[in-house]
Amino acid sequence: MREKDLGIWQTTTWKEVAEQAEELANGLAALGVRKGEHVAVVGENRPRLYLAMIASQYLGAIPVPLYQDAIAAEMLYVLQDAEVRVAVVEDQEQVDKMLEAQDSCPLLQHIVYDDPRGLRNYVDPGLLSFEALADMGRKFRAEHPDHVSQAKAAVAPDEPAAMFYTSGTTGKPKGVVLTHHALIDRARVIQDLEGLTDREDVLAYLPPAWIGQNMFSYTQFLVTGFTVNHPESPETVSIDMHDIGPTYYFAPPRVLEGLLTQVMIRMEDASALKRKLFNTCMNLARRVGTRILDKDPTVSAWDRFKYRLGDLLIYGPLRNALGMSRVRVAYTAGEAIGPDLFEFYRSIGINLKQLYGSTETSVFVCVQSDGQVRADTVGPPVAGVEIRVAENGEIQVKSPGLFKEYYKNPEATAESFTPDGWYHTGDAGYLDTDGQLKIIDRAKDVGKLADGSLFAPKYIENKLKFFPFIKEAVAFGNGRDEVCAFINIDLEAVGNWAERRGLPYAGYTDLAGKQEVLELIRDCVEKVNADLAQDPQLCASQVARFLVLHKELDPDDDELTRTRKVRRGFIAQKYAVLVEALYEGREHQFIETEVKFEDGRIGKISADLRILPAKVFPGDMKKVA
């Protein structure tokens, strides 16, 4: 492991990891942690939190990672449901949340913290520093030298290894219980598929409570034995990524969108000559870059020469600016990625591939193979996985990586499987003629317009979010005559755009309401419409009317999950007056919205929102025919 502390990378060897984990396991045993007990782990990616997970598993206990940005009230449900008695946390912020939760969670007795800053005057008897826990561990080991080794030996492959709570987009979060065998099996399959070795470098920067990050930087780290690097803070991820130069990289589409936005902002500020060179090279990259990456022999020698020149002038420096110069394999998952965004990264020589899976499947169900990467599929099933498509279009799965159960919820567990044992993914899609899986959308979200045309909201939203000025989008249209949308602008990108044009603004709400910004967003929407007009399946789903929301959609306001997935049903209900205004043809609508601030205070934001029409293009009838 490596951790950046005060600007210096500190290294921990595998031997030291093993020794420290055993010390902590003895400390947890001294606190009474036993097999089958849940241990909460809360914080950013920190080596000691990873060690705490290893230590818990040594004892046969089950680590339960929680999202570090969740408020105490959200954590309370998990702490109560999992009957957590011991929590291992990162810092004062998380300690405060645990202490707040204790009033309603009397089972929570011990809180172990990593970073002591700000905690000097805390006197709660249940508080323990990592150092104090290690001291307890050394004393416990002296009295019970074989306790941990016996506990390890008693752990069976089919027993619970970890529990992850679902994001709760449609109700209360459910505890997904994954076994040691399920996690290790999926990690080994990907190790073999990608030829991963102990020489890989990985950056652990996403929430450990997300199964994608946990598999990528914890399970695979232990199975394959590569180096996992922990950034100094979320704010330094970009700098730290340049330091490390990861070879194996994992990012959800929102991270890739953010990186691309940074690139586009810098290009807007560049000279006219640099912008022209960039655009010329990117046009070439879009035409031949992905084909060269896929080793397509039909690319001409002249195009290969021009691409190599572009690599020297633009693509190489761009990969370096993104911190991806050494990336050998990059995955994106978590939600559907827009084809334009996906092809941008591949066109500049980054081997970005899509994978498909979920918490319940230990992530890896389908992965794209080198040379067989397409923007509209997520690849074929990986080793050990079977897929079938039900009559209603739902994808169903059998896999060694499937979860054991939903904790204390046998009804939900039973409902997740068909009578003949296939897992309901809830996603709609189909296997194409090459055996690759194509995801359309969440089965519950895919609908039809009033005229019977297909409506896939996520596909439309992803096309909108390709533009650096659009951070989030929510499309509506199921059962209606036309598609309408809510838009969130990207404050940084649009703010930079406004400043270069001398357009003053006082904050997000002010900027989002300016006529110039609305016209900027209308231009983006109409470009998406022009693109959709060429799609015979979705030409009817062009956005007819839209508005720019007066606030950013926020997990704290329950509008997004902690993994930043849109809670579409909740948003439609919360902003019903805006949806109604869109479909009634109004030109503006007043709205007042309650918001939660970071310090827990409740406030209100109000605005009179403009509703704009967007140009809708005739569909390609020849294609449709």
User: What class, spelled out in words, does domain 447-624 have in CATH?
Assistant: alpha beta
Classify residue 391 by burial, with Cβ atoms within 10 Å: 0-12, 13-18, 19+. Answer: exposed
Q: What confidence tier does 171 reach under pLDDT thresholds 50, 70, 90?
A: low
Q: Does residue 549 carry a pLDDT above 70? A: yes
Q: What is the pLDDT of residues 127-153, one digit of tens each?
A: 999 999 999 999 999 999 999 999 999
Task: Output the average pLDDT for the chain.
Answer: 92
Closest CA to 575 of 594, 601, 602: 594
CB 10 within 8 A of CB 116: no
* Residue 622, pLDDT score: 43
Please tell me the predicted confidence (pLDDT) of residue 625.
Answer: 34
Across the range 185-199, mean pLDDT stands at 97
Predicted pLDDT of residue 226: 98
CB 611 within 8 A of CB 587: yes
- Which pLDDT score, from 0 to 100, does residue 309 have? 97
Q: What is the pLDDT of residues 293-307, one digit of tens each?
A: 999 999 999 999 999
Mean predicted confidence (pLDDT) in 370-391: 92
The whole-number average pLDDT for the span 281-287 is: 95
Is the predicted pLDDT of residue 624 greater than 50, yes or no?
no
Rounded distance between C-alpha atoms, residue 228 and residue 400, angstroms: 26
pLDDT band at 263 (very low <50, low <70, confident <90, very high): confident
Inter-axis angle of helices 457-465 and 515-532, to 10 degrees?
120
> According to the model, what pLDDT value does residue 621 have?
40
Which pLDDT value is given to residue 447?
Answer: 83
Sequential DSSP letters for 494-542: HHHHHHHTT---SSHHHHHT-HHHHHHHHHHHHHHHHHHTT-TTTGGG-
3-state secondary structure of 148: helix
For residue 169, what pLDDT is reported? 54
Q: Where in the chain is the domain with CATH 3.30.300.30?
A: 447-624
pLDDT of residue 380: 96
* Amino acid (1-letter code) at residue 306: K
**Sheet with strand 8-11: strands edge to edge:** 8-11, 2-5, 227-230, 201-203
Query: How much of the chain exceeds pLDDT 70, in percent?
Result: 98
Band (pLDDT 50/70/90 cuts) for residue 456 is: confident
Query: Within 10 A of 409 (CB to CB), how many other CB atoms are there?
Result: 15
Could you tell me which residues are beta bridge partners of residue 248? 329
Q: Quick one: CATH architecture of 2-155?
A: 3-Layer(aba) Sandwich (3.40)
Say yes or no to pLDDT of 608 above 90: yes
Return the bridge partners of 164, or none.
Answer: 176
Identity of the residue numbered 147 = H
Helix H segments across 381-456? 410-415
pLDDT band at 279 (very low <50, low <70, confident <90, very high): very high
Examine the pLDDT at 623 and tell me if it is beyond 50: no
Residue 223's nearest CA partner among 363, 67, 421, 342 is 363
Classified as helix, coil or strand, 230 is strand
CA 369 to the chain's CA centroid: 21
pLDDT digits (tens, 9 = 90+) for 328-341: 999 998 777 877 78
Q: Which amino acid type is present at position 488?
A: N
Which pLDDT score, from 0 to 100, does residue 170 have?
A: 56
Here the tokens at position 525 are: 């929407």
Decide: residue 99, CB within 10 A, 0-12 exposed, 13-18 middle, 19+ buried: middle
Residue 457, CA distances (Å) to 117, 342, 447 in order: 45, 18, 9
Of 163, 173, 406, whose CA–CA distance to 414 is shortest? 406
- The answer as to CATH 3.40.50.300 being correct for domain 250-440 is no
Q: Which two tokens stand for residue 179?
A: 């076994």
Give residue for tokens 């929430």: 207
pLDDT at 486 over 50: yes
What is the C-alpha to C-alpha distance for residues 360 and 404, in angstroms, rounded to an integer? 9
For 249, the token pair is 């990289």
Q: Which comes out higher in pLDDT, residue 50 or 467? A: 50
Sheet with 394-398, side-by-side order of all strands: 386-389, 394-398, 423-431, 437-442
Around 52, how many Cα atoms within 13 Å sit in the side-chain half-sphere?
30
pLDDT at 403 over 60: yes
**Does the structure show a pLDDT above 70 at 475?**
yes
Q: pLDDT per residue over 512-522, tens digit each? A: 999 999 999 99
pLDDT at 251: 93
C-alpha span between 552 and 50 (Å, rounded) = 32
CATH 3.40.50.12780 in the chain, residues?
250-440
Please state which of the ranges 492-496, 564-568, 598-602, 608-612 shows the lowest mean pLDDT.
598-602
Q: Which long-range contacts (CB under 8 A, 24 or more apart) does 441-449 make?
A: 441/336, 443/392, 443/393, 443/394, 445/568, 446/393, 447/477, 447/478, 447/479, 448/478, 448/479, 449/477, 449/478, 449/479, 449/480, 449/481, 449/482, 449/483, 449/540, 449/541
Q: Are 17 and 1 in contact (CB under 8 A)?
A: yes
| Residue 610, Cβ density class (10 Å: 0-12 exposed, 13-18 middle, ≥19 buried) | middle
Residues spanned by CATH 3.40.50.980 within the chain?
A: 2-155
Q: Identify the residue whose tokens are 């009838």.
A: 621
